[in-house]
Structure 1
Amino acid sequence: MPSVSSVRSVPPGGARPVTVVGIGADGWDGLAAGSREALTAAEVLIGGPRQLELLPSDCAGERIPWPSPLRPAVPGLLAAHAGRRIAVLASGDPLFFGIGRTLVELLGADRLRILPHPSSISYACARLGWPLEETEVVSLVGRPAAALAAALHERRRLLVLSAGADTPAEVAALLCDRGYGPSRLQVLEQLGGAGERRIEGVADTWSRPPGDPLNVIAVECRRAAGALRLPVVPGLPDEAYEHDGQLTKRHVRAVTLAALAPAPGELLWDVGGGSGSIAIEWMRAHRTCRAVTVERDPVRAGRIERNAAALGVPALRVVPGAAPAALAGLPAPDAVFVGGGATVPGLLETCWSALPPGGRLVVNTVTLESEALLADWYRRHGGELVRIAVAHAAPVGGFTGWRQAMPVTQWAAVKPAVEGRAADGGEER
């Protein structure tokens, strides 16, 4: 009977597996025996130019550097060498922000044999004495530096996967811009290799010239005095947003996000984005949460993009245009928020139709006309219909009284598996 390892090494149909070998800055000397054997036996070696240069002449296979852009070229490149022994080189652990993920998505795990190497993050934690499970990792490879902003919290330890030699200076500038200038930076270059070195400094006085492009940046977050504190839960301070008054205010925003109930990997449609606060805080709930915001005013659309970058979710997709027409062709949502324009003909119908069973629709309104519409949708589809009233203490002469904000009516419903049966106690039709 064949061993478990031999069964796993042969994909369905008997096709040759593609071997993916992780390699570090220590090159050939740092590889385990199995990784060396796979590379020596390969007839085709695919990787980045730097990685290919680390291999000795004993690896006699044809060397092919990755083209750019990489992902579209992968299927054709592998197909061109079908039937040959192919080895793909990856930096460190191939499935940790590496090429391994792309190959699994395109080929399937059964067609791969993955031989990992310690990642640069493992090396960095070993050098710093930081527990790996308590250290947050942010990749800026192929991503804007603004993606780091959502991870900034007092006393947090971050490891940043650098895009190149200029990344440390970009990170320092972003830290200063976001109120974290006192943060300590350590740039760890060529981890595990002969040229390994460490450069230290503080963000607000960082003046180091660009160093080795192969680096990881360790950040010990320290917030400057007076800098705005941004929590991890919904309901960021209103001052965190650039806006023209079109902003779902803090307390209502927290209630709205609770009703939308974001979960990892889910997609939100934010219809009538305003300042983008609902979509932004949806995406801040988890790094895999996604959102599309639709805004008809081009000035506000630009403002949403700036807010998203400032608050660490630059991947927020902003679609300029008026709903419901602008919703055509968007990927199916897991939840929809309508913050304005509920009475536009066909809008709620379009949003409800786009949701899968179990999807959530949340609508906020402040007008009597929209409130009447929500009451009808509540009668037909059930859910929850609530009124949110917030009052703030304010001076009244020499005393203090309550100043009432305009109340918000909110309807929230979960789409049932079978249409026609109202959810949560509403009237059936």
Structure 2
Amino acid sequence: MPEAANGGAPEAEKQPWLALVGLGEDGVAGLGPQAREALERAGTVLGGDRHLAMIPTVPDQERISWPSPLTEALPWIEARRGQPVCVLASGDPFWFGIGATLSRRIAPEEIAAHPAPSAFSLAAARMGWPLQETCCLSVHGRDLERVIPWVQPGARLLLLSWDGTTPASIARLLEDRGFGDSTLTVLARMGGPGEDRMEARAADWRVAEVEALNTVAVTCRAAPGTRGIARTAGRPDEDFAHDGSITKREVRAVTLAHLAPGRGELLWDIGAGSGAVGVEWMLADPSNRAVAVEARPERAERIRANARDLGVPELECVEGRAPEALAGLLAPDAVFIGGGLSSPGLVERCREALPPGGRLVANSVTLEGDAALAAAHERFGGQLVRLEVSRAEPLGGFSGWAPLRPVTVWSLVVA
């Protein structure tokens, strides 16, 4: 009989022992009969102090408040496998909640989930917004800059706040980016007797702190001439701080096309310069990750600043020279070599790190780099492309073509 992947009971013997119960502001009164039964028969109940205070006392029932960090409680839960355990959560535990964390350690067949309406569902109902057409994000324990790519003219956002100061921070961010005319609606304690609502333009927001448990609804409105971050690769060079070491937008668009970002994938951006390729890789999908490897400290600082300004603050920057700086990094799904082609063994190291289906792209603007790419093409195969781009610039009273440096692009999909 096959054993469970997590080392627990055989697949055929698994039974739900962990109840995951979502609570709303109405507490136990809002629970269905199955959720009530799971709560009452649990030998151990874990939850935040606020949630534990909502439920009635059950004789001999063990009550445990979440520790800090919360992950310290996971071994306690696993140690009670096979016994009735109940974990309390806010609303829907599988929407920016504890559910995803638990399901990474405990098989879904061992969990009986009883979700309540999420804050997103409640907020959409209050605003009259179709939830499927609304961007739902959490800034609870996450960088506020993650909101930036979604701030677009006409967009509707629902944001789970970190605390009572979050709405004011969102208002400042919107105003700084030319979206001060956006409307912020702060919804607090939805579904309970103390439900509250506050609304104002971002530019007019003057409340430093509101109720800690709140969700912010944003109707994005841009000032004339203001646009959000483009949704496709090849964003303007001036969007990135750089010292000239940047993959130009026309070449960057081709480079990203060859890298073919998917979902939940990791990129190594080697010789990152401004970090533009890594930033655009992460902007392609919010679940993507990138590691920028850059030898110069001043450029590494620019990379971090660009990542924050363009809404991907989780981009990791490693200072050092490849291939030595690659030691210890998680295996990538794709690699871009924008600099350092002359480093012995770099191409081979990157090729070896990639799984079947992984993509390797390298660009060169020098004769020495071209020679390295020709050798790599001869050894590993792939495609060689020569890009020559010219931009129109003023020439006296007219305009003329100013050529950029020709770029050689080598791309390989690992078999």
TM-score (structure 2 length as normaliser): 0.94
Question: In structure 2, what residue type is equivalent to 1:185?
Answer: L
| 1:388 paired residue number | 387
Q: Could you give the per-residue CA deviations for residues 399-420 of structure 1, whole angstroms, max 9, x where no partner exists?
A: 221111111110011111xxxx
Shift in CA distance, 157/101, structure 1 to aligned 2, threshold 3 Å: same
Contact preservation (8 Å) 1:164, 1:213: yes
Alignment of 1:5-404 (within 5 A): 12-13=12-13, 17-58=17-58, 61-75=61-75, 77-404=76-403
The one-character-per-residue Cα deviations of 1:271-301 (angstroms, maximum 9, x if unpaired) are 0111110000000001111111111111111
Distance 1:113 1:16 in 2: 6
How many corresponding residue pairs?
A: 406
CA distance in 2, matches of 1:54, 1:339: 56
Unaligned 5+ runs, structure 2: 1-9
Q: CA deviation at 1:84?
A: 3.4
Asked if the contact 2:16/2:109 (under 8 Å) is kept, the reply is: no
Aligned partner of 1:424 in structure 2 is none
Q: Measure, in 2, the Cα distance between the counterparts of 1:118 and 1:60.
A: 30
2-structure distance, mates of 1:277, 1:308: 9
2:26 alignment partner AA = D
- Cα distance between partner residues in 1 of 2:366 and 2:78: 60
Question: C-alpha offsets along residues 17-40 of structure 1, whole Å, 9 cap, x if unaligned?
Answer: 111001111111111121112112
- Paired residues of 2:149 and 2:228 also in contact (CA < 8 A): no
Once the 2 structures are TM-superposed, how far is the Cα of residue 124 of structure 1 from its aligned partner? Answer: 0.6
Task: Tell me how far 1:15 sits from its aligned partner.
Answer: 6.1
Q: What do residues 57-97 of structure 1 show as CA deviations (whole Å, max 9, x unaligned)?
A: 3586221111011124312x114444532100011111111
Instruction: Give, as a single letter, the amino acid of the residue that structure 1 aligns with 2:70.
Output: L
TM-aligned CA deviation for residue 304 of structure 1: 0.7
In the aligned structure 2, how far is the partner of 1:217 from the partner of 1:88? 26
Residue 320 of structure 1, CA deviation: 1.0
Could you tell me which amino acid in structure 2 is paired with residue 404 of structure 1?
Answer: P
* CA distance in structure 2 between the partners assigned to 1:60 and 1:198 by the alignment: 40
Give, in whole Å, the separation in 2 of the partners of 1:28 and 1:50.
13
CA contact (8 A) 1:256 1:362 kept: yes
Q: Find the aligned partners of 1:338 and 1:138 in 2 and give their Cα distance.
A: 32
In 2, Cα distance between the equivalents of 1:224 and 1:243?
A: 27
Q: Deviations over 1:88-138 (max 9, x none)?
A: 001111111110111100112122111111101000111111001100111
Q: Contact 1:242–1:303 at 8 Å: present in 2 too?
A: yes
Contact 1:39 1:59 in 2 (8 A): no
Distance, in Å, in 2 between the alignment partners of 1:403 and 1:14 is 68
Which one-letter code corresponds to 1:237 in the other structure? P
Deviations 1:300-338 (A, max 9, x none): 111111110111111111111111000011111110000
Q: Residue 16 of structure 2 contacts residue 112 of structure 2 at CA under 8 Å; is this kept in 1?
A: no
Contact 2:347-2:376 at 8 Å conserved across structures: no
TM-score by structure 1 length?
0.91
Instruction: Give the Cα–Cα distance (whole angstroms) in 2 for the partners of residues 214 and 405 of structure 1.
Output: 53
Identity of aligned residues (%): 50
Work out the CA distance in 1 between the residues paired with 2:363 and 2:223. 36
Distance in 2 (CA, whole Å) between partners of 1:149 and 1:60 is: 49
SS at match of 1:350: helix
Q: CA separation in 2, counterparts of 1:251 and 1:276?
A: 16
Question: 1:150: how far off?
Answer: 1.4
Q: Deviations over 1:159-182 (max 9, x none)?
A: 001111111111111112222221
Identify the residue that residue 4 of structure 2 maps to in structure 1: none
Contact 1:388–1:410 under 8 Å retained in 2: yes
Distance 1:73 1:381, change over 3 A: same
